[in-house]
Amino acid sequence: MINQAVAEIDLSALKHNLAIVKKTAYQSKVMAVIKANAYGHGMYQVAQALIDADAFAVARVAEAVELRDANIKGPIVVLAGFNTASELTICNALELDVVIHCEQQIELLNRANFDKPLTVWMKINTGMNRLGFDPADVTSVIHRLELNQNIRQPFKLMTHLACADDMCSDATANQVTLFDELVSNTIGEQSITNSAGLLAWSYAQRHWVRPGIMLYGGNPFSNKAAEDNGLKPVMTFKSNILAIHRVKKGQSVGYGGAWIASKTSLIATVGIGYGDGYPRHASMGTPVLINKQHAYLVGRVSMDSISVDITECENICIGDDVILWGNGLPIEDVAKASDTISYDLMCGVTERVPRRYIEVN
Ligand SMILES: Cc1ncc(COP(=O)(O)O)c(C=O)c1O
């Protein structure tokens, strides 16, 4: 038996989810968001598998450089754009598409002298208040970008939705209305939606959609299961049972003796911990899956192991596989029990965990 946590990455599920994106936003081009190591799934392998996407999006120039170094040739959009003149030079040399969201970037572009122009997305702040030009400045910025020799014309336009996962909120409709007003006199391609936006707000799909979490089979909504949209989990995070102990009533388990048996219990020690990216704050009662049966976390999460109560389970042995999330156990259930979101769990799987790529059809 190998004591080894592993993240199994199902590339056929990834491709299936891309097909769902394309079916849902059938008039749009797809910018697959693969930043943060493709949400923990492995940026290079994901980029290779998503060859049918029209572009990739990453957050930082360094991520885009990694993709180019790995011979990924298609369009790559850098969502936060460049910060310095040297980053801008890299973007131009590697033919990266850049998001421009602030005055300093325009100044850097004004000072550059390129042989060939750069593809630029102008980002407008319609309510997220994170990155983007303020509505009051948009007309002047558009005018200046239209005159800029270093920019391929017409440049493209984007905004980002703050509350697309909340179908009861007015925020999305307000953001889209404001965006439409601000860009009504421009002709560039537009992009508004992330996963939640493209699923729930079809009128906001526009020329490009920018799905992230749904490609990985995560659910962008809190009140709906990912399967409701036909999505399949891509990552199955698993390990195995290292030991099984019979614990008597009154005995405790793990650091701080935080869990005390209320009756004689069978406790399995599983080789996964926060050193692998299992959430340190997973609450007692967080589910795991062993031989298709649910068992529940007891005690504190350690760096290399967790303890689960298998008293009610049948036929469980040392060495058996334990699924922490993925196939058969929605990551959202674990996220909820850990007071976080699926994005955080996926991105948090650490380097010591090998990614094992499978393709089932
Ligand atoms: C600008 C932008 N667009 C799209 C996405 C993808 O979002 P999601 O993973 O919710 O689909 C992100 C992710 O954070 C983002 O920052």
| Domains of the chain, each with CATH number or no CATH | 11-218 (3.20.20.10), 235-358 (2.40.37.10)
Q: What is the residue-level pLDDT of the chain in tens, covering all 361 positions?
A: 666 899 999 999 999 999 999 999 999 999 999 999 999 999 999 999 999 999 999 999 999 999 999 999 999 999 999 999 999 999 999 999 999 999 999 999 999 999 999 999 999 999 999 999 999 999 999 999 999 999 999 999 999 999 998 888 999 999 999 999 999 999 999 999 999 999 999 999 999 999 999 999 998 886 665 567 899 999 999 999 999 999 999 999 999 999 999 999 999 999 999 999 999 999 999 999 999 999 999 999 999 999 999 999 999 999 999 999 999 999 999 999 999 999 999 999 999 999 999 998 6
Predicted TM-score of the model (pTM): 0.96
Of the candidates 116, 248, 249, 255, the residue annotated as catalytic is 255
Residue closest via CA to ligand 1's atom 6 equals 212
Q: Given ligand 1 and candidates 29, 125, 158, 210, which is best to mutate, with the most ligand atoms within 8 Å of its CB?
A: 210
d(CA 119, CA 331): 37
Atom of ligand 1 nearest to the CA of 79: 1
Question: Rounded distance, CA 255 to CA 223, Å?
Answer: 35
User: What is the C-alpha separation between 217 and 10, in angstroms, rounded?
Assistant: 10
How many angstroms separate the alpha carbon of residue 231 from the centre of ligand 1?
A: 17
Closest-lying ligand 1 atom to the alpha carbon of residue 214: 11
Residue 167's pLDDT is 85
Ligand 1 centroid, distance to 104 Cα (angstroms): 23
224 is catalytic: no
Residue 101 token pair: 């969201």
**For residue 322, what pLDDT is reported?**
98
At CB < 8 A and 24+ separation, what contacts does 140-146 make? 141/106, 142/183, 142/185, 142/186, 144/106, 145/100, 145/106, 145/120
Rounded CA gap, 189 and 207, in Å? 6
Residues 204 and 225: their CA atoms lie apart, in Å, by: 22
CA 197–ligand 1 middle distance (angstroms): 10
Is position 35 annotated as part of the catalytic site? yes
What residues flank ligand 1, with Cβ below 6 Å? Answer: 33, 79, 160, 194-196, 210-214, 220
Sign of the torsion angle spanned by Cα atoms 216, 190, 75, 108: negative
Residue 210 Cα, ligand 1 centroid: separation in angstroms?
6
β-partners of residue 158 are 123, 191
Catalytic residue, from 15, 29, 35, 238: name it.
35
CA of 48 to the centre of ligand 1 (A): 20
